[in-house]
Chains A and B, each alone.
Chain A
Amino acid sequence: MSTKFKGAEIIMECLRKEGVEVIFGYPGGANLPMYDALKKYPDIKHVLVRHEQGAAHAADAYARVSGKAGVCWATSGPGATNLVTGIANAWMDSVPLVCITGQVVSWLLGRDGFQEADITGITIPIVKHNVLVLDVEDIAPAIAEAFHIATTGRPGPVLVDIPRDVQQALCEFNYPDKVDLPGYQPTVTGHPQQVKKAAQLIAESEKPLILAGHGVVIARAAEELKELAEKAQIPVITTLLGLGGFPGSNELNMGMPGMHGMYWNNIGIQEADLVIGIGMRFDDRVTGALKDFAPNAKIIHIDIDPAEIGKNVKTMVPIVGDVKKVLQQLIPQVQPARHDAWRAWFADMRAKHPSIAIPETDKILPQYVIKKIYDMSGPNAYYATGVGQHQMWAAQYFWSDNPYSFVTSGGLGTMGFEVPAAIGVQFARPKDTVWAFCGDGGFQMTMQELALCTEYELPIKFAIINNHYLGMVRQWQDTFYDGNKQSVRMFQPDFVKIAEAMGITGIRVSEKSMVESSIEAALRHPGAVLLDFEVEEAEDCFPMMPPGVSLSDTIDQPKIETRPRETAGGRAR
């Protein structure tokens, strides 16, 4: 006779089968059976966050870096609703996340029981799939399906909601060997005819460009992308989430395009006669006004999600399939080429428009701090960012060769992502240096998670790029709302004292001369360190493409020598 397990134990058995090493979670009434079961599964580490949003973000970042599904769980009601922002974040950035929520006992469903929230209803628009499990025998197939759906095709979050009584009911454990879903058959291999057409367009092109996105990172296709780019000598532009999908030191790497992208890229896209979108979705932050996007270019679009094809731009050759697989198909068919004139055009643009040159000044410029951190942290460091100006600078100066090492909230743009994300990254890469680039605003949204650094001995380095403003909003108010600065300057706690209160080292950096020494000290220190960089308050992020205009209207970095350097709010425009 086979053994019977409690539903909660079956959940753990499933996680073990899936090779899960870490769960980010928070207990409560409706998931207590899951916590009761934890003791029997010491090989699966549970990380107690301080807010469920942190659990979702940490699991999300863990997934991005490890390449496996991230797992988080929470109790019913507020526990589940607190996950929502994190789930939406994973949804927008196609991150494989398995969320398991406790639910009120099944006979109270729909009766407004204590801590009941209809989380499967709430999350419909932001999950790849969700399911409410009402029978203990369905737990194993539901979780097997959750992992299968989350990690295959275009990855995404899956939520499994399990009432407490179902977690306590008994049944045998049978894990399905294979998941067969009639309504879910992702296309992996590109259509050979389309691949052939793409190779032909590449051969005919004189000014080709690769726009590489998150799909390259998700598919772990950096090697293939490099091979393709080098074979035909095609400049590679990486989107915000594509950063880390192509070596920064490669001379074909052109950096980021778009709203705060490199000027040469935005103009280059308008010049190109062929745009090869690889694992990206022609987001509005990349394309600018769609009607003017890449007017001279034919477009090849490689993506695993057929719904992305033709969603934003008209595509001449669509290829639906896994980026890694399609590139493997495409590379042998592509003719070696040089494109010397086209590459010279780029070199010339880059020389004339040094979009990310840093002005000489005695003040601490945020981009100076960020660049110093990149320069000093070695080739194997990982970086998580929040959202806003510091994120854009972090992206602009990220030219690392370490693949898949840049973790940021792209699609949803979730402030506060940085702190829990860095925690997730450190769990995935326990031996490597992990930096969190924090905004002083976003940091205050999730800073309670700092406590985890002490509890779990995580040596994360936090760099608060502190301009005493919600900087990006301030920049928009200055630029588009006549400098009417509203609700962008707030009372700020003493971050160094907060670090100390959380059991980690805090250093305030208010002189330029201290920047290097403080970074060095942080890197040398074996534990977590928080560096509060009091940077120039009025620094704006350039280049900038105002919303709604075309890429051609990108404003480059204002001329460095003529740049007014006033303090807060005094910028003439």
Chain B
Amino acid sequence: MSGRLHTIVALVENRPGVLNKIANKWRQRAFNIESLTVGPSELPGLSRMTFTVDGAAHDIEQVTKQLYKVIEVVKITDVTEESIVARELALVKVATTKDNRGAVIEVVNMFRANIVDVAVDSLVIEVTGAEDKIDAMIAMLTPFGIKELVRTGRVAMVRGAQPLAAAAQTNGVYHKYRSAGEGKPKVGSLI
């Protein structure tokens, strides 16, 4: 795919199989999803997904239109061109020794990250920010030895007062069917 990274935000009904239906639309047109996050939104029964996908604007628009046809998709927007706040969180486990721990902490402070776990030979660092900030910090930590790394992928929100769901408001009851794992956490049932 040639193009740029697009950020797409979707509000979807929290029902079994929805993620599969959505992923299928991307797969059918051979898109690779660079990152995907899912979690609850401000509306009960609706989950919010943030995708980042690499591709030409026209192709992305086509898939977005197809995604809108998934009945459980309540709202979907490509926010790439909008003024957005976009963040990612990473947890980085760095190998440390008595001698270099101070140097690692210096990097952590420079990036306004947090140390969330300490062991004799490692630190776990939590960092939040735009992707390039996290890339930069990982580059700085690599010489010390990264033992483990996890990144959430991008979450995004358009600046200003207009909520994404404004156009999609109905009676506020979205969770219509019981899922196989009724009573279990709802976010898990999406997958």
Contact = CB atoms under 8 A, between A and B. Distances in A.
B157 to A, nearest CB: 20
B72 to A, nearest CB: 6
Interface stretch (B16-24, B92-100, B124-132): B16-24
Given A121-B20, A132-B16, A132-B17, A307 B178 contact: no
Given A132-B16, A306-B68, A182 B168 contact: yes
B68 A307 contact: yes
Interface string A280-314: 00000000000000000000000001110011000
A120 B71 contact: no
A183 B178 CA distance: 18
Interface stretch (B78-86, B112-120, B147-155, B169-177): B169-177
Interface of A: 106, 109, 120-121, 124-125, 128-129, 131-135, 138, 141-142, 145, 149, 180-184, 305-307, 310-311
A149 B71 contact: yes
A516 B20 CA distance: 55
Contacts of B17: 120-121, 124, 131-132
A182 B20 CA distance: 19
Contacts of B12: 183
B69 interface: yes
A181 B12 CA distance: 12
B53 to A, nearest CB: 17
Contacts of B179: 134
A106 B70 CA distance: 25
Contacts of B72: 183
Given A307-B69, A310-B61, 4 more contacts: A125-B28, A135-B178, A181-B71, A311-B62
Nearest to B43: A182
Given A134-B179, A184-B71, A307 B20 contact: no
A125 B179 CA distance: 21
B13 interface: yes
Given A124-B20, A182-B168, A306-B68, A135 B177 contact: yes
Q: Which of A131, A138, A142 has the most CB of B within 10 A?
A: A131
Interface size class, chain B? 20 to 34
24 contacts: A106-B180, A125-B28, A128-B71, A129-B71, A131-B177, A132-B16, A134-B178, A135-B178, A138-B176, A141-B177, A142-B177, A182-B13, A182-B174, A183-B12, A183-B70, A183-B72, A183-B73, A184-B71, A305-B69, A306-B65, A307-B65, A307-B68, A310-B61, A311-B62
A95 to B, nearest CB: 16
B66 interface: yes
Given A128-B69, A307-B62, A180 B21 contact: no
Contact of B24 (A125, A134, A135, A180): A125
A138 B178 contact: yes
Q: Report the 10 A-B pairs with minimum CB-CB distance, sorted nearest first.
A: A307-B65, A183-B74, A129-B71, A182-B170, A135-B178, A182-B74, A138-B177, A184-B71, A124-B24, A183-B73
Given A182-B168, A311-B62, A134 B180 contact: yes
A409 B70 CA distance: 24
B162 to A, nearest CB: 18
Contacts of B178: 134-135, 138
A43 B72 CA distance: 34
Nearest to B17: A120
A133 B65 contact: no
A360 B173 CA distance: 69
A308 to B, nearest CB: 9
Contacts of A131: 17, 177
Interface string B1-36: 000000000001100110011001000100000000
Contacts of B16: 132
Nearest to B27: A125
B128 to A, nearest CB: 31
B46 to A, nearest CB: 8
Contact of B177 (A129, A134, A180): A134
B191 to A, nearest CB: 13
A121 B23 CA distance: 12
Contacts of A121: 17, 20
Contacts of B174: 182
B24 to A, nearest CB: 5
B176 A141 contact: yes
A133 to B, nearest CB: 7
A125 B24 CA distance: 7
A124 B21 contact: yes
Interface in B141-191: 168, 170-171, 174, 176-180
A135 B177 CA distance: 8
B163 to A, nearest CB: 14
Nearest to B178: A135
